[in-house]
Amino acid sequence: MAIKLSADEISRYQNDGVVAPITVMQPSVASELRRRLESAESSFPQIIGPEKRNNAHYVLACLDEIVHHDEILDAVECLIGPDIILTNTVLFIKEPNSLHHVTYHQDATYMGLKPQDSLTAWIALTESTPENGCVRMIRGSHLLDIQQHVDTFGEDNILTRGQQIENIDEEHALDIELEPGQMSLHHARTIHGSRPNKSANRRIGIALQSFARPSTRQVHGEDYALLVRGSDDYGNFTKGPRPKAEVDLENVEFRDGVNARLSEILYAGAEKQRGY
Ligand SMILES: O=C(O)CCC(=O)C(=O)O
């Protein structure tokens, strides 16, 4: 393994619950991945779009390359060890001048993963800035228990339930500014959110959510994952296929099944359900 994170970066993750920016690919590589993603978006809107944003890595080779990217996994390995599974991916795309935003929340609240020490890698395929609605993190909040979340189902809120932790003191919020090809890593309990995109360009991020040790359990029943590095001596998750083509239509049914299962987990106990 190439040691990707410095001792300082590891201690920032441990103390703050987030570390960024980490450069994992050249901007030109990120830009080519963006081109392939946008080509799939325009050719296959029935497979990828605002309501089809989860787990597209089972179908699109460009996203499969990201989830198996050595530099990303080297960094994750520094934090959780050599055996790594990935449970889901989410495309967080904010269109230019749109109201879409993310209220403050802790990922671990509804994910059903125990223990709650998994992490998210958020990969920027465009720049991510305060103007275009970069993610904002509350430093040190991963050391708190899960806070009370209120389901708002807000129209422009791109979280499933529009869940939010109220009365956040934003004084310690950190803007996670990234260039294309950089990423942030955040702990499953770190409180974070993001504001609308006020720029004239798209903001594209892909959240690899969550990277976990194979010993992690899904407490809401069966769930799916990819073994992305090392070995799995536990078998707690059903393993998914990798795409065998740029857009592998044969995997669409499997991906739909994974997303249906994910919805059951994320909406457990909710009053209603949206299309994603
Ligand atoms: O992309 C965003 O604005 C929010 C991302 C997020 O909530 C996450 O990665 O968990």
Average of pLDDT values for 205-232? 96
The Cα–Cα gap between 4 and 18 comes to 15
For the domain covering 7-266, report its CATH number: 2.60.120.620
User: Residues lining ligand 1, judged by CB closer than 6 Å?
Assistant: 92, 102, 107, 120, 122, 135, 192, 194, 205, 207, 209
Q: How confident is the model at residue 164 (pLDDT cuts 50, 70, 90)?
A: confident
Question: Which is the closest atom of ligand 1 to the Cα of 207?
Answer: 9
pLDDT, one tens digit per residue, over 263-272 is: 888 877 777 7
Helix 70-80 crosses helix 7-16 at what angle (to 10 degrees)?
A: 60
User: pTM for this structure?
Assistant: 0.95
CB 259 within 8 A of CB 62: no
> Ligand 1 mean position to 233 CA, how many Å?
31
Q: Is the pLDDT of residue 3 over 70?
A: no
pLDDT digits (tens, 9 = 90+) for 188-199: 999 999 999 999
Residue 69 has φ and ψ, to the nearest 5°, of -65, 125
Dig out the tokens for 175 from the structure: 């803007």
Nearest Cα to Cα of residue 85 among 93, 94, 77: 77
Contacts of 87 (CB under 8 A, 6+ apart): 111, 113, 118, 209, 210, 212, 218, 223, 224, 225, 237
Mutation to probe ligand 1, out of 194, 202, 266, 276 (largest number of atoms < 8 A from CB): 194
CA angle, 206 then 212 then 214, to 5°: 135
pLDDT at 210: 96
pLDDT of residue 1 exceeding 60, the answer is no
Nearest alpha carbon, ligand 1 atom 7: 193
Question: How far apart, in whole angstroms, are the C-alpha atoms of residue 63 and residue 106?
Answer: 24
Q: d(Cα 177, Cα 193) in Å, to the nearest integer? A: 13
Give distance in angstroms: CA of 167 to centre of ligand 1.
19
Domain boundaries, the chain: 7-266
Mean pLDDT of the chain: 94
Percentage of the chain modeled with pLDDT above 90:
83
